[in-house]
Structure 1
């Protein structure tokens, strides 16, 4: 019942926002070009959080000197409070300069929230669900330079200062030997490279995006852990006819031993909508997601999506592991036709039930 209440509130809210959004976004001329700001209130209810409320904002702009045909820079801001004294602040950003030759990507955030823990592996039982509270500041920053057409390389830094509190007394996590269950600092340095021919960062209609990253813990920068990780994220977009789009996302991520459990790979994210967040987690994730995106009427559009994925202790085991499937559908409301920004409302369904998602822009 509470899930239905949450869904009803958000759909009602989307309807109200849809009427309000018919007005053109306010344009402010500053030291940046074409600055546009979109702000949305958020209201939801879940048993784990109680009443939640806050706001989401998205600013798009082009730095001074950038051409109007270049990709816009973007800064997203979210602030959420709950009646159970939980708090989330997140500000991911993607900044372009020098005709897109420089790209700065990262996130500032502070999280005081609950998280799910079922144990490790693809066979973790749903009956073992327990939650734990964690609060941490987050800082992500990567700088990349284009060295060949559409190909960029760069360096990055990750920081999370975890404080894990309120473990279930005598529970699965408390009795485990998971690294990081008492908290600690993640401080990692890494290298990144990507190839990007997408025509739009918010709503690609064609092109290819492939990003590889390798990070390792930096003891001299205060890391509490000693581990390394590698990720390969590939996305493909093709325009079928008119505004009908096919999108695909293949992902491979692997971590070494001694990875803190808070930084494990997991199913239940954007790629595998339909499972509880962190439902299955382990060192390695292999997943594939497909989406069919289509217009409905006016500013409204829809999507059908499906995914399959697994987690395992290492890469070798991933290809003989059981895979979990999910599928679903969603509605989009286009806030800015030129840049492609939109409200995303999705419902993902798996063998364990359904999950509801409400946020800004596409999952990938």
Structure 2
């Protein structure tokens, strides 16, 4: 694994060197005509450029490692609003930046021999009246399951996942409604003993679930908003008719709201909940998701999470931020009152790397119970 890490590091170095060399040869393509700063908007939109997103993985759940994502942005089709320009309907109410079409591929590997590869695509049609998202991925993860006593029990989760979603805007409103289907063909391996708290354990399991998604979106930018709201509610069922070996139900709701306190300060607020019923597999249960906390460390039948983020815009390009949040997972292993409280906080920065697209990149450093984590972010950490 050390050899593989060295190879990945060499690859990133060569990629960075090639990018800077190309930028030196074609400086005008990497300078914004508006402020003269380094900017990739022209390359990404007009020269079929790809945005590389290297990632130093410090996620406690899967260990330390490296990853690389490649994002390709394409402009809106003729007759629709171009990326980077305001989108408005007949009433003039919609003034958010129209989202571009995005295709992404990525891969990662860590020192625990966890790895994954994936492909995803986001597309809009008809002035953002139709939104499509699709993803395909394969993973082999070495994780920990935390039982009633909070003890870590190592297990391996591998499989192939597919996600398909289409949302339709309701009239000229900010509301979107549509179906989502998720399929995950999994293989799970523990040691000789299955930990306490897991019922009906199956080594090989297929999950097929379908549901309805309702979105509300008034963000001024889908990547790094400065004002507006985003909310999503999803209700899913898993049944044999949907290619699932288990029957269960899930409901999730999340909401984000950004308030500009002044020209320089922006306050972000987040609320996130998840609920489940029926014979749901242990690894598919809702869990507390906060920067600085190991993924799925706080996991149970239900979860509730809240987080605040305060951003200061030093310049139109550079910003710094601080964040903190709390959450609880409960319902099976613990009652709500007895469930341990998860908490995390940290700081970070962003640079507006593609102004016409509204894409910012930066780093977050977070601290949770007994651990620290480092994240390379594209835009907001809230997805």
Distance 1:46 1:142 in 2: 28
Pick from 134, 138, 146: which aligns with 1:106?
134
Unpaired runs of 5+ in structure 2? 1-8, 21-29, 31-37, 86-97
Pick from 152, 159, 172: which aligns with 1:129?
152
Aligned counterpart, 2:371: 353
Unpaired runs of 5+ in structure 1? 1-8
Aligned length, in residue pairs: 339
Distance 1:111 1:195, change over 3 A: same
Distance 1:257 1:48, change over 3 A: closer
How far 1:332 sits from its partner (Å)? 2.1
> SS state of the match for residue 262, structure 1?
helix
After superposition, residues 156-305 of structure 1 pair within 5 angstroms as: 156-165=180-189, 167-170=190-193, 172=195, 176-267=197-288, 269=289, 272-296=290-314, 299-305=317-323
1:118 paired with 2:146, answer yes
Pick from 143, 156, 162: which aligns with 2:166?
143
CA distances 1:10-41 after superposition (whole Å, capped 9, x unpaired): xx98xx79x94846356377xxx885520134
How far 1:141 sits from its partner (Å)? 1.1
- Asked whether the 8 Å contact 2:264–2:314 carries over to 1, the reply is no
Aligned counterpart, 2:81: 67
> SS state of the match for residue 287, structure 2?
strand
How far 1:204 sits from its partner (Å)? 0.9
> SS state of the match for residue 191, structure 2?
coil
How far 1:138 sits from its partner (Å)? 1.0
How far 1:178 sits from its partner (Å)? 3.3
- Structure number with bigger Rg: 2
Distance 1:329 1:348 in 2: 7
- Asked whether the 8 Å contact 1:179–1:261 carries over to 2, the reply is no
The root-mean-square deviation of aligned C-alpha atoms, in Å, is 3.2
Distance 1:292 1:76, change over 3 A: farther
Instruction: Give the TM-score taking structure 1 as reference length.
Output: 0.82
Which structure: greater strand fraction? 1
> SS state of the match for residue 237, structure 1?
strand
Higher relative contact order (CA 8 A, sep 6+): 2
Aligned counterpart, 2:119: 91
